[in-house]
């Protein structure tokens, strides 16, 4: 089957690469604190940029993230681990202290952030982190899926958490697994 005319998936990042990326945010200031929290929420919940930017304060409670309107108008839930919750809480505390309202990931004046802003700062941060890969938001989503697959999470759970209608769509995300990953999994098998 030819890939001509078919958009190929973007790169994913290893957890170490994302940690290097996150280390580039100077959290002494509000904007980097917000941007770091945004990257963590997109990565740890597998959210699209628009889904993360649409989150309202009531959409995240006790680590449960409610995506009210995902792609195709579909709602779903995701979950944020305790470390991710701590990073997000640092932003929410800063935001409250500054008296900023609006969506969770708002401008410093409380307005809605634009996705183009995220698509511009991520490549800069990836370059600063010397990742050797282009920085892109959807790569965080792919990384989420690949991380879950490496942890042995069933395909149906990964698919549902991403909001995919079919397993085939999810499989495209998982095609990022490297040959080394395949060898590691196969060598662990027993009979």
Q: What is the pTM of this model?
A: 0.82
User: What is the β-pairing status of strands 64-67 and 76-79?
Assistant: antiparallel
pLDDT (mean) for 99-118: 96
Q: Exposed, middle or buried by CB within 10 Å (0-12, 13-18, 19+), for 191?
A: exposed
Q: Please report which confidence band the pLDDT of residue 3 belongs to, taking 50, 70 and 90 as the band edges.
A: very low
Q: pLDDT tens digit string along 150-188?
A: 888 877 777 777 776 676 666 666 665 555 555 555 566
Span 16-41, pLDDT tens digits: 999 999 999 999 999 999 999 999 99
For the domain made up of 15-180, the CATH class stated in words is mainly alpha
Q: What is the pLDDT of residues 34-89, one digit of tens each?
A: 999 999 999 999 899 999 999 999 999 998 998 887 676 777 889 899 999 999 99
Round to whole Å and give the CA distance between 189 and 184: 9
Catalytic positions are: 48, 71, 138, 141, 164, 173
**Cα separation, 83 vs 119, whole angstroms:** 24
Q: Where are the domains of the chain?
A: 15-180
């Amino acid at each position: 089957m030819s890939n001509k005319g078919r958009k190929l998936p973007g790169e994913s990042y290893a957890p170490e690469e994302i940690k290097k990326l996150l280390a580039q945010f100077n959290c002494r200031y509000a904007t980097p604190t917000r941007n770091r929290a945004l990257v963590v929420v997109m990565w740890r919940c597998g959210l699209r940029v628009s889904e993360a930017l649409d989150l309202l304060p009531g959409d995240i409670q006790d680590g449960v993230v409610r995506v009210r309107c995902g792609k195709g108008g579909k709602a779903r839930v995701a979950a944020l681990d305790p470390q991710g919750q701590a990073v997000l809480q640092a932003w929410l505390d800063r935001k409250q202290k500054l008296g900023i309202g609006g969506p969770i990931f708002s401008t410093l004046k409380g307005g809605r952030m634009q996705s183009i802003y995220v698509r511009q700062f991520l490549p800069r941060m990836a370059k600063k982190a010397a990742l050797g890969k282009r920085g892109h938001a959807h790569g965080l989503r792919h990384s989420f899926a690949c991380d879950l697959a490496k942890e042995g999470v069933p395909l149906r759970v990964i698919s549902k958490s991403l909001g995919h209608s079919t397993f085939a769509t999810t499989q495209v995300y998982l095609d990022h697994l490297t040959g080394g990953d395949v060898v590691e999994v196969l060598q662990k098998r027993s009979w």
